[in-house]
């Protein structure tokens, strides 16, 4: 059974590009990644979701292949700071990925929110932004997405139908 959401019966839409969503090496949680995929797809991107427990080498290889408009790293097990530091070093070591936007978010420390110094160190290490968990995380993330060059690509107007 299918549910019609748009009135043009089309399942193919223009895309703003590809976003890679990934967990970090130590993290087995998956619903955070599913949530991010659905949210980013709604903003008009194709999403390559690499799933949980992704080694840095695999992330780098996938990003080199897909040349994404954005890489979104998510971690909620409390070790995101350490994993993120290792991962961004590997990503920025690839000549093809030096300028690719990469963000990290979730529950990044074991003692609640990271202190400002730790978040700043993630940015100094190469992340473009850090989105710590909390009610205020998603709006700044939307603002970041809206400021990406790829967000300027217009999508065809579609009329939603009642379901």
Contact pattern for ligand B12 over residues 104 through 143, marking x by CB under 6 A:
-xxx--x--------------------x-x---x---x--
Which range of residues in 1-9, 43-51, 74-82, 92-100 is near ligand B12 by CB under 6 A?
74-82
Q: Work out how close the CB of 152 gets to ligand B12 at its nearest, in angstroms, rounded to a whole number.
A: 21
Check binding of 77 to ligand B12 (CB under 6 A): yes
First and final C-alpha spacing in the chain: 13
Under 8 Å between Cβ of 29 and 60:
no
Check binding of 146 to ligand B12 (CB under 6 A): no
**CA dist., res. 112 & res. 147, Å (int):** 28
- Please, what's the b/e burial string for 108-128 (b: 16 or more CB within 10 A of its CB; e: otherwise)? bbeeeebeeebbebbeeebbb
The DSSP bridge partners found for residue 102 are: 71
Which range of residues in 29-37, 60-68, 82-90, 148-156 is near ligand B12 by CB under 6 A?
29-37
Under 8 Å between Cβ of 148 and 69:
yes
Which range of residues in 25-33, 86-94, 116-124, 155-163 is near ligand B12 by CB under 6 A?
25-33
Check binding of 29 to ligand B12 (CB under 6 A): yes
> Torsions phi, psi of 75, nearest 5?
-145, 135
- Please, what is the Cα angle at 122 between 62 and 46, to 5 degrees? 35
Check binding of 31 to ligand B12 (CB under 6 A): yes
Nearer to ligand B12, 56 or 72 (CB): 72
Q: Residues in the site for ligand B12, rule: CB under 6 A?
A: 26-32, 35-36, 72, 74, 76-78, 103, 105-107, 110, 131, 133, 137, 141
């Amino acid at each position: 059974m299918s549910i019609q959401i748009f009135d043009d019966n089309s399942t193919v839409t223009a895309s703003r590009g590809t976003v890679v969503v990934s967990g970090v090496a130590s993290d087995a949680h998956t619903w955070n990644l599913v949530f991010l995929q659905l949210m980013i797809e709604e903003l008009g991107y194709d999403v390559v979701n690499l799933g949980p427990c992704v080694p840095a080498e695999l992330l780098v290889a996938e990003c080199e292949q897909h040349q994404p408009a954005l890489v979104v790293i998510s971690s909620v097990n409390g070790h995101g700071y350490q994993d993120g530091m290792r991962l961004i070093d590997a990503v920025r070591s690839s000549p093809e990925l030096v300028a690719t936007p990469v963000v990290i978010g979730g529950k990044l420390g074991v003692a609640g929110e990271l202190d400002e110094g730790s978040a700043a160190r993630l940015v100094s290490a190469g992340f473009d932004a850090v989105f710590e968990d909390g009610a205020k995380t998603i709006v700044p993330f939307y603002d970041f997405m809206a400021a990406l060059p790829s967000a300027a690509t217009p999508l065809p107007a579609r009329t939603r139908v009642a379901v």
